[in-house]
A and B are shown apart, each in its own frame.
Chain A
Amino acid sequence: MKSILIVEDSATTRSLIRAVIEELGDFNIVEAPTGFDALKLLPSQEFDLVLTDINMPDINGLELINFVKGNPSYKHIPLIIVTTERSEEDKKRGMALGATAYVTKPFKAPEIQGLIRKILNI
Chain B
Amino acid sequence: MSSAKKEFIAEAEDLLEESGRLILEIQDTFQAGLNPDTINALFRALHTLKGLSGLFGHQGMADLSHALESLLDEMRLGKVDISDDVVKFLFNNIDILRAIIEGLNQDKEQDVSGPLKNIEAFRNSLKGTAKGPELKGLIDESMLMVLSEYEEHRLKANIHEGRGVYLAKAIFSLSDFDKALEELTRLIKSKGELISTLPTSSNVPPDSIGFNLMFGSADPIEKLKTETGLDIDNLITPKATEPVPQPQKAQGGSDLQRDAATLKSATTTVRVDIEKLDRILNTIGELTLAKGAVKRIGEELIELYGHSPLVIDVHKISQTLEKRLAELQGQVLEIRMVPIGQIFSRLAQVIRKYSREIGKKIELVMYGEDTEIDKYIAEEVIDPLMHLVRNAIDHGIEPAEERKRKGKKDFGTITLKASQRGNHVIIEVKDDGGGIDIQRVREKAVERGLLAGEAELEEKEIIDFIFTPGFSTKEVVSEVSGRGVGMDVVKEKLAAIGGFAEIDTEKNLGTTMNLTIPITLAIVKALLIRVSNTKFAIPLTSISETVVMTRSDLQTVEGREVYNLRGEMLPMTNIGKVFAFGESEAEKFFAVVVGVGNRKHGLIVDELFGQHEIVIKSLGEYFAGLRGFAGAAEIGKHEVILVIDVDALIEESVIKQKVKGGAPNV
Which A residues form the contact surface with B (CB < 8 A)? 9, 34-36, 39-40, 43, 54-67, 70-71, 86-87, 89-90, 93, 96-97
Contact = CB atoms under 8 A, between A and B. Distances in A.
A62 B260 CA distance: 17
Interface in B489-524: none
B272 interface: no
Contact of B201 (A34, A35, A71, A90): A71
Interface string B173-202: 011011001000000000000001111111
Interface string B190-218: 00000011111110000001000000000
* Range class of the B interface residue count: 20 to 34
- Chief secondary structure at chain A's binding surface: helix
Interface of B: 70, 73, 145-151, 174-175, 177-178, 181, 196-202, 209, 254, 256-258, 260-261, 264
A55 B146 contact: no
22 contacts: A36-B177, A39-B174, A39-B177, A40-B174, A54-B148, A55-B148, A55-B256, A58-B181, A59-B197, A59-B199, A60-B148, A63-B146, A63-B197, A67-B198, A67-B199, A67-B200, A70-B201, A86-B73, A89-B149, A90-B149, A93-B145, A96-B145
B183 to A, nearest CB: 13
A99 to B, nearest CB: 12
A40 B177 CA distance: 9
Contact of B147 (A55, A58, A62, A70): A62
Nearest to A57: B261
Contacts of A56: 257, 260
A57 B258 contact: yes
Nearest to A34: B261
Contacts of A39: 174, 177, 199, 209
Contacts of A97: 145-146
A9 B145 CA distance: 22
Nearest to B209: A39
Contact of B260 (A9, A71, A90): A9
B209 A62 contact: no
Given A36-B178, A40-B174, A86-B73, A55 B150 contact: yes
A86 B149 CA distance: 10
The CB with the most chain A CB atoms within 10 A, among B145, B151, B197, B199, is that of B199
A93 to B, nearest CB: 6
Contacts of A60: 146, 148, 151, 196, 254, 257
Contacts of A36: 177-178, 181
A59 B198 contact: yes
A52 to B, nearest CB: 12
Given A39-B209, A43-B174, A57-B261, 20 more contacts: A35-B199, A36-B177, A36-B178, A39-B174, A39-B177, A40-B177, A56-B257, A56-B260, A57-B257, A57-B258, A58-B257, A60-B254, A65-B146, A66-B146, A66-B198, A70-B201, A87-B149, A89-B149, A93-B148, A97-B145
A60 B152 CA distance: 12
Contacts of B181: 36, 58
B201 A67 contact: yes
A3 to B, nearest CB: 19
A12 to B, nearest CB: 10
A73 B146 CA distance: 20
A65 B147 CA distance: 11
B46 to A, nearest CB: 13
Nearest to A35: B199
A67 B200 CA distance: 6
A14 to B, nearest CB: 12
A86 B254 CA distance: 18
Contacts of A54: 148
Contacts of B202: 70-71
A86 B70 contact: yes
Contact of B197 (A40, A58, A61): A58
A36 B179 CA distance: 10
The CB with the most chain A CB atoms within 10 A, among B73, B175, B261, is that of B261
Nearest to A96: B145
Nearest to B265: A57
Nearest to B207: A43
Contacts of A34: 261
Contacts of A9: 260-261, 264
Counting from the closest, the 3 A-B pairs by CB-CB distance are A57-B261, A71-B201, A57-B257
B203 to A, nearest CB: 11
A97 B73 CA distance: 24
B64 to A, nearest CB: 17
Nearest to A97: B145
Nearest to B199: A67
Nearest to B178: A36
B257 A63 contact: no
B132 to A, nearest CB: 13
A10 to B, nearest CB: 8
Nearest to A72: B201
B148 to A, nearest CB: 5
A70 B211 CA distance: 13
B254 A58 contact: yes
A108 to B, nearest CB: 17
Nearest to B149: A89
A109 to B, nearest CB: 19
A66 B175 CA distance: 20
A70 B199 CA distance: 10
Contacts of B151: 60
A58 B258 CA distance: 7
The CB with the most chain B CB atoms within 10 A, among A43, A59, A63, is that of A63
A62 B257 contact: no
B177 A62 contact: no
A77 to B, nearest CB: 13
A58 B262 CA distance: 12
A56 B199 CA distance: 14
A40 B207 CA distance: 10
Nearest to A73: B201
Nearest to A44: B174
Contacts of B197: 58-59, 63
